[in-house]
Structure 1
Amino acid sequence: MLREKKRGNTTYKPLEVLGPEHEFSIVNEQLQALPIVDKLVKDFYGRIVNFVELPRFTFGKELQLHVMEIKANAPFKSPEIFEETMQSAVEIMLDFLKRKYQAYLLGTGMHPLLKLEGTSIWPHRHRKIYSELGRIFNLKQHGWLNIQSFHLNLPYSKEKAGVMLHNLLAGLCAYIPAISASSPIFEGAFGP
């Protein structure tokens, strides 16, 4: 059984390190979403928790029971180490999923065939929060239950540096969907 570790607070300069988080759908060979993230967590940790910390990466739950998040345990100073660590994490999880569940990882922006009735919200810890969010925002739609993403966390040491970094990246963000759209298909058909 794994033990939780306490992390220290370290301050980095803007763009000194990268902190990636990547979400994947767990699917079978027919690309059907498999709501088994809780089982996967229990396989590794012995009981259901939100996240499991392994030596180089952490994996765990998302809002959807079929979506798993993989993130680094510490930020990277090198894009090469970032790539190697995340690739290794994906290979470890994929190997386990294939052996135990005949399952795979699908890392697109959204699942191309998922019907909303084929998924569910994480039913364990934080379920009350998700239930309230569902009441307020109607989570039973593709923008909530059928979405995976990649986050790249960037540091800043002072508020002024954070605001400057945000403003610089905000201009770039408007162009990212145009160059990286990966979700033209949903519920098995081309979108509008």
Structure 2
Amino acid sequence: MAKPYHLFEVYGIELEYMLVNNDSFKVAPQVDELLIKKAGELIPDIENGDIAWSNELVAHVIELKTNGPANSTDDLSEKFHANILEINELLQPLNLQLLGSAAHPLMNPNTDTQLWKHSYSEVYALYNTIFNCKGHGWSNVQSTHINLPFFDDSEFEKLHAAIRIILPLIPGLSASSPVLEGKITGFKDSRLEFYKTNQKEIPELTGLVIPEQLFSKQTYHTAIFEPIKRAIGPYDKNKILDQYFLNSRGAIARFDRNAIEIRLIDIQECPKADIAICALIIEVLKAIVNKEFCSLQAQKSWTAQDLFVIFDAAIKQGEELQIVNKDYLKLFGMKTPATVQDVWKHLYQTVKSNLHPSHHDAIELILEEGTLATRLLKAIGTDTSEKHIISVYRQLQECLKTNNLFQS
């Protein structure tokens, strides 16, 4: 974002997808071949009209993102879907296609991981040296990121305060990773379960995932960036790692482009679901910033530790988590007891009139039938044979082609 925008003036959305072999259903580390097919040469970022394509840490994940700030989320589902269809067409001669959801259900990260070997490879190689990126939290993760702008410290304070209190609810809306290595993990959001600890060697990078109570650029630098620089120093002798790249909280402040990036959303089965979730989160954040539920002071009063307790339970139980903390529910104008699903239903009804009608069906399906994780678990049932799991996830590939939500 070149110039600073005001709150909710523009949006940046990023969606990550995995390449999968049609016959074996294994992840395919061939994103470089895809990019060459598209551009005629290997370049790290391809601008394709309103959507850009780029590589990720591992060689089987492609990232699609809005090409610069978007003024609206209303038509993004169609724009992302058009790019997905184009990519699948390019992948056809390679016998590959894209797959949504936040984790491949059968991938063995120890044997199937290939790190990206091209641009930024020295950064990825250093990360691998420090953390060993052959793990589910590194190499088997696909997420959706929302970038939201702020103009100055005053707007940063409001936006960061609102985002912090909504983060614990996100797994109950977007969890889509209940199966790893052919086993039901017991976590609706296995991606986030790994996210919490995959940088445990240097705890300063992730903190408690929920960002600390910091509401100005200066305090953020002092409490987050300075400790990160000190902690990474012994590992990063050549100073190639960037503080923004290293900060791995669930929402990170990007003062270089005056934006906060929300990173806790599991990617869904199709852009229609992803963009509907993003649009809902954005409208709820607008309502929180506008103090429709509670004061700014009430929002700022929550410690990372207290928010983490709810977040941690939601990673496991998703939308079914019963929230018993009366003060937390009060932030959204609710009384106890309520499930995370109840909270989202309440928030949706509050902001529904501000949401583009194209998002209503997707959100209502998620709120009625459950997160994608819940719907996948229902479809898999007790048959966790490789054959059955593949047959369920092939349906997700169809959802991606048709831009329709998965129904178990």
Q: What is the TM-score with the length of structure 2 in the denominator?
A: 0.43
Q: How does 1:5-154 map to 2 (within 5 A)?
A: 9-29=2-22, 30-98=24-92, 100-116=93-109, 117-154=111-148
**What amino acid does structure 2 have at the position aligned with 1:121?**
L
Taking the aligned partners of 2:77 and 2:145, their CA distance within structure 1 comes to: 14
Give the 3-state SS of the residue equivalent to 2:74 in structure 1: helix
CA contact (8 A) 1:19 1:72 kept: yes
CA apart distance, 1:74: 2.7
CA contact (8 A) 2:27 2:112 kept: yes
Q: How does 1:167-178 map to 2 (within 5 A)?
A: 167-178=161-172
Taking the aligned partners of 1:105 and 1:92, their CA distance within structure 2 comes to: 11
Q: How does 1:156-175 map to 2 (within 5 A)?
A: 156-175=150-169
CA apart distance, 1:78: 2.2
- CA deviations 1:42-81 (Å, max 9, x no partner) are 1122222211112221111000100000011132222222
- CA deviations 1:73-122 (Å, max 9, x no partner) are 13222222222211222222122222x22221112111111111112110
Runs of at least 5 residues in structure 2 that lack an aligned partner in the other structure: 187-408
CA contact (8 A) 2:37 2:90 kept: no
Give the 3-state SS of the residue equivalent to 2:15 in structure 1: strand
CA contact (8 A) 2:113 2:134 kept: no
Give the 3-state SS of the residue equivalent to 1:179 in structure 2: helix
Taking the aligned partners of 2:85 and 2:6, their CA distance within structure 1 comes to: 31
- CA deviations 1:13-66 (Å, max 9, x no partner) are 111222111000011224210110011111122222211112221111000100
CA contact (8 A) 1:72 1:85 kept: no
**What amino acid does structure 1 have at the position aligned with 2:117?**
P
Aligned length, in residue pairs: 184
**What amino acid does structure 2 have at the position aligned with 1:165?**
L
**What amino acid does structure 2 have at the position aligned with 1:147?**
V
Give the 3-state SS of the residue equivalent to 1:120 in structure 2: coil
Report which stretch shifted further, 57-66 or 124-133: 124-133
Report which stretch shifted further, 45-54 or 15-24: 45-54
CA apart distance, 1:159: 2.6
Q: What is the TM-score with the length of structure 1 in the denominator?
A: 0.89
**What amino acid does structure 2 have at the position aligned with 1:50?**
P
Give the 3-state SS of the residue equivalent to 2:63 in structure 1: strand
CA contact (8 A) 1:27 1:105 kept: yes
Show the counterpart of 1:5.
Answer: none
Q: CA RMSD in A?
A: 1.6
CA contact (8 A) 2:38 2:90 kept: no
Give the 3-state SS of the residue equivalent to 1:70 in structure 2: strand
**What amino acid does structure 2 have at the position aligned with 1:26?**
L
Give the 3-state SS of the residue equivalent to 1:79 in structure 2: coil
Taking the aligned partners of 1:159 and 1:44, their CA distance within structure 2 comes to: 41
**What amino acid does structure 1 have at the position aligned with 2:108?**
K
Give the 3-state SS of the residue equivalent to 1:95 in structure 2: helix
Runs of at least 5 residues in structure 1 that lack an aligned partner in the other structure: 1-7
Give the 3-state SS of the residue equivalent to 2:46 in structure 1: strand
CA apart distance, 1:161: 0.9
